[in-house]
């Protein structure tokens, strides 16, 4: 049986201010835990709930792949490349900070909270030119199985990553199962974005993470309608 390490949702770091409620799977900002500094090139998974009209004012980043996955609501994005867009559920957004970029992210709604996952992946190469990408997820490709939404090659429905990393998404209805076969020398991190599943018989629910580094297949079975983000890392 594959050795799987669970990162329970309740043990994540937590920060709350008037407009932002955040949970941190790994050390971030004022939350520091030497035992949870990231997993391979995966550095940040923050689950953020942004109040209506709230948001992150313009701030800098560099040398990081920053991915946004919206659970509900919408993100209004602006950056120093001139990109301006709104990201909604069913889309994947990536910003390569590279040599340096300024951006802001706001909840454009005055009534509805914004619920999102903010993901950072350390790039394989420092000092690349900053770039921005936003793609519509192929819903048929992720229904009941794992479909690719980010990779080094990118694609019509997948953003390009400057790292030997792939992000897969599965949306499972209650009772459905999906298998994932990890290749040798790689590591996997699964983040349960919504719902509840079993992973090779281990119960996981929304906010939980799980990692493993043994080659071979594992099986996710949904005990409720669920969304799973799976990071396949070199």
Mean pLDDT within 90-110: 97
DSSP-assigned letter for residue 128: P
Q: Domains, the chain, ranges and CATH?
A: 10-136 (2.60.120.10), 139-233 (2.60.120.10)
Cβ atoms 148, 159 nearer than 8 A: no
Cα four-point dihedral sign 194, 196, 198, 203: positive
Per the CB < 8 A criterion, the answer to whether 77 and 103 are in contact is yes
pTM of the model: 0.97
- Using CA atoms, how far apart are residues 142 and 156, in angstroms rounded to an integer? 14
Q: Is the pLDDT of residue 1 over 90?
A: no
- The DSSP code for 28 is B
Q: What is the pLDDT of residues 32-88, one digit of tens each?
A: 999 999 999 999 999 999 999 999 999 999 999 999 999 999 999 999 999 899 999
| H/E run at residue 77 | strand 75-79
Rounded Cα–Cα distance for residues 1 and 171 (Å): 25
CB 175 within 8 A of CB 222: yes
C-alpha to C-alpha distance for 137 and 94, rounded to whole angstroms: 13
Average confidence score pLDDT of the chain: 97
pLDDT tens-digit series, residues 109-146: 999 999 999 999 999 999 999 999 999 999 999 999 99
Determine contact, residues 104/58, Cβ cutoff 8 Å.
Answer: yes
Q: What pLDDT sits at residue 47?
A: 98
Instruction: Please state the rounded mean pLDDT for residues 156-179.
Output: 98
Task: Retrieve residue 2's tokens.
Answer: 């594959």
Percent of the chain with pLDDT over 90: 99
User: What per-residue confidence (pLDDT) applies to 211?
Assistant: 98
Q: pLDDT tens, 171-181? A: 999 999 999 99
Close Cβ partners of 14 (under 8 Å, ≥ 6 residues apart): 22, 23, 24, 31
């Amino acid at each position: 049986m594959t050795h799987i390490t669970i990162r329970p949702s309740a043990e994540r770091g937590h920060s709350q201010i008037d407009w932002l409620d955040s949970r941190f799977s790994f050390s971030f900002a004022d939350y520091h835990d030497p035992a949870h500094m990231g997993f391979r090139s995966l550095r940040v998974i923050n689950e953020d709930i942004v109040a209506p009209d709230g948001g992150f004012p313009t701030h800098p980043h560099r040398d990081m792949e920053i991915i946004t996955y919206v659970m509900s609501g919408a993100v209004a994005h602006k950056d120093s490349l001139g990109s301006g867009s709104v990201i909604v559920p069913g889309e994947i957004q990536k910003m390569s900070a590279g040599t340096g970029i300024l951006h802001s992210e706001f909840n454009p709604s005055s009534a509805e909270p914004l619920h999102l996952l903010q993901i950072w992946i350390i790039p394989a190469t420092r000092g690349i030119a900053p770039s921005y990408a936003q793609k519509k997820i192929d819903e048929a490709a992720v229904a009941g199985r794992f479909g690719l939404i980010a990779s080094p090659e990118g694609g019509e429905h997948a953003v390009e990553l400057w790292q030997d990393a792939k992000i897969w998404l599965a949306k499972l209805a209650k009772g459905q199962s999906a298998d994932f076969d990890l290749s040798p020398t790689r590591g996997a991190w699964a983040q349960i974005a919504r719902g509840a599943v079993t992973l090779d018989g281990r119960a996981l629910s929304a906010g939980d993470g799980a990692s493993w580094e043994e080659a071979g297949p594992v099986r996710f079975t949904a005990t409720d309608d669920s969304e799973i983000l799976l990071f396949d890392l070199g």
